[in-house]
Structure 1
Amino acid sequence: MKDQVFSGRDVEDALATASQALGVPRERLHYVVLDAGATSARGLNAQPARVAVLMDRTAPPPPPAPPDPGPRAEKDPRAGARAMVRAIAEAAGLEVGAEIEEAPDTLTVRIEGKDVAFFLDDDADVLEGLDHLLQRMYQRALDPRRLVVTCEGHRVERDEGLRRTAQELAEAVRRDGVPRTTRALNSYERRVVHVALAAEPGIRTYSVGEEGNRRVTVAPRAAEGEPEEPAGGG
């Protein structure tokens, strides 16, 4: 590429002209001073300064980086779950990772590592929050399968606790015939309650409430020939 010559009142002025004309920052110009210029006795420029810009050594500025589109949800639930756990680990400085286990009806995200206590503190609020978030994100992608987040046997203990609670509610309903309703449960937890009481004599279960605040009602099974209140789904 042919070198280009620029002139100005002095060398700096000539370089400023070159920088503007070429679209290259002043500090990235490679040049040779051809003439430093001369000033007359009255302080006027009798001869302009001239510089030759070495075009084969002058690199144009790098193109601007594309704008950051921000975080995007992975379409694949497996990759998305791993990415979510990795983001939490990096933000909180944790040594944890996610292992994925697949079954015909469930995709289990198992959190492992030396800092899993972070997810289990305060009655596993962080773990339950992550479980709820991932279920909302990938419910359609996984349907009809369910997504479950667990670590160190927490889900096993949690499920057993739900079954005990379901049995206690069923016994109370059998005693006085008054329906009982659980706390708000996610879809997986509601299924645990429904399955736990499916074979209980004289007991039926159905879900009530809006998504995000759905609960399971445990009620007496209607006598033969009597209409039953319609179930509210899972």
Structure 2
Amino acid sequence: MREVIATGKTVEEATQRALDELGVSMDEVSVEVLDMPQRKLFRTIPAKVRVTADEPEQPVQEEPKPAPVHEEPVPAPVETAPEPCEAQPEPPAESEQETALSLADCPRLAPVVDYLREICEKMGAPDMEISAVKQGETVILKLTGDKSGMLIGHRGEVMEALSYLCSLVANRGEGEYIKLGLDINHYRNKREENLTALAKRLAEKAARTGKSHTLEPMNPYERRIIHAAVSEVEGVRSESVGEGATRRVVILPEDMDLSTALRRSSGRRSDNRRGSGRSGRDDRSRKPYQKQERREKRAPRRPASADGQPTPLRRTESINDGENLPLFGKVEL
């Protein structure tokens, strides 16, 4: 297996560079998009892809057969035909069953249980009961009790963080590595059912409409659930893109290229950001009857004198409405 990481202005250009370096065609490789191209103020971030090519198996050279030796024919004994036996079907793969474990018989789990009890007490859930089961190669600590919402968090983020910390506590000493997980009030089973239903619904929609669907970032455990559910639907496939905390699953039709699916999904996300101005609206959204600013009426300029100083206003005509009237009016009784 050969692997090449290449960059380019677009995903297609980076993929083509990797294909040229490997010397293979697109049908012989698998492409994983690590970074999408971005344009910033002073620089442009190129696209980065990882292209993996499976090397063909070398043909096994057959050893030369020795020359046949001529021997005298010997009469073969007469054999009776054996009774035909019925073909036995292969047993189905056994699902991982849970086996109860005793915390007293697992001394390496004792510091983990003490750590969990202290965390639960400080987070307001001191009455949580802790038990252990083994599922395959994983040891799962099950916590049951009230006030478990803070221990689970939004979509299990706090539970996954606690699971990681408990794994560090269990494996900080010497000995065989213990694969540890947490399950608080059967949240793992509920989450698995919801993710399975979501993956099948989106996979059937992708097969029916021919469009891809990009899910939100998930941890490795949840991504495996999505991949397993999509594999049960014909005509679609699933790919993981991104790295670290932003790694997510893309569900797309089998005949669609991954770069095409990512380009279409990014285009749909950018449609909501189009527009101009601070509010994101273009000029066409403005009303045609914008209010005009009212202009204040300015007072007439006063004529200036010879020295440049303004002259006061002069009254040109006096108004005497009562000049011809008597001083006292006649009062009739």
Provide TM-score, normalisation by structure 2.
Answer: 0.38
Q: Does the 8 Å CA contact 1:108/1:149 hold for their aligned counterparts?
A: yes
Q: Distance in 1 between matches of 2:226 and 2:168?
A: 20
Instruction: Quote the residue 1:116 is aligned against.
Output: 148
- Residue 92, structure 1, aligned to residue 136, structure 2: no
Query: Match for 2:135 among 91, 99, 103?
Result: 103
Larger Rg: 2
Specify every segment of 5 or more residues in structure 1 that has no aligned partner in the other structure, as ranges: 1-75, 230-234
Q: Does the 8 Å CA contact 1:81/1:109 hold for their aligned counterparts?
A: no
Moved over 6 A (4+): 135-140
Specify every segment of 5 or more residues in structure 2 that has no aligned partner in the other structure, as ranges: 1-106, 260-333
Query: Match for 2:192 among 153, 159, 183?
Result: 159
Q: Distance in 2 between matches of 1:134 and 1:80?
A: 9
Q: Does the 8 Å CA contact 1:208/1:217 hold for their aligned counterparts?
A: yes
Alignment map for 1:23-62 (pairs within 5 Å): none
Shift of 1:218: 1.0
User: Residue 229 of structure 2 aligns to a residue in which SS?
Assistant: helix
With over 3 angstroms needed to count, the CA separation of the structure-2 counterparts of 1:81 and 1:218, relative to structure 1, is farther
Q: Distance in 2 between matches of 1:149 and 1:182?
A: 24
Alignment map for 1:84-233 (pairs within 5 Å): 84-93=115-124, 94-120=126-152, 124-131=156-163, 133-134=165-166, 141-142=177-178, 147-222=180-255
Q: Distance in 2 between matches of 1:192 and 1:98?
A: 25
Shift of 1:80: 5.5
Whichever residue aligns with residue 113 of structure 2, its letter is R
Q: Distance in 2 between matches of 1:213 and 1:138?
A: 27
With over 3 angstroms needed to count, the CA separation of the structure-2 counterparts of 1:83 and 1:205, relative to structure 1, is farther
Larger helix share, 1 or 2: 1
Residue by residue, what CA displacement relative to the aligned partner does 1:89-130 show, whole Å, maximum 9, x if unpaired?
Answer: 232352224322112243222112344344246555533442
Q: Distance in 1 between matches of 2:113 and 2:168?
A: 16
**Higher RCO (Cα < 8 Å, 6 or more apart):** 1
Q: Distance in 1 between matches of 2:237 and 2:220?
A: 17
- In the comparison of the two structures, how many residue pairs are matched? 148
Deviates more, 1:128-137 or 1:186-195: 128-137
With over 3 angstroms needed to count, the CA separation of the structure-2 counterparts of 1:191 and 1:167, relative to structure 1, is same
User: Residue 199 of structure 1 aligns to a residue in which SS?
Assistant: coil
Q: Distance in 1 between matches of 2:137 and 2:214?
A: 26
Q: Does the 8 Å CA contact 2:239/2:250 hold for their aligned counterparts?
A: yes
With over 3 angstroms needed to count, the CA separation of the structure-2 counterparts of 1:128 and 1:191, relative to structure 1, is same
CA RMSD of aligned residues (A): 3.3
With over 3 angstroms needed to count, the CA separation of the structure-2 counterparts of 1:193 and 1:115, relative to structure 1, is same
Shift of 1:159: 0.6
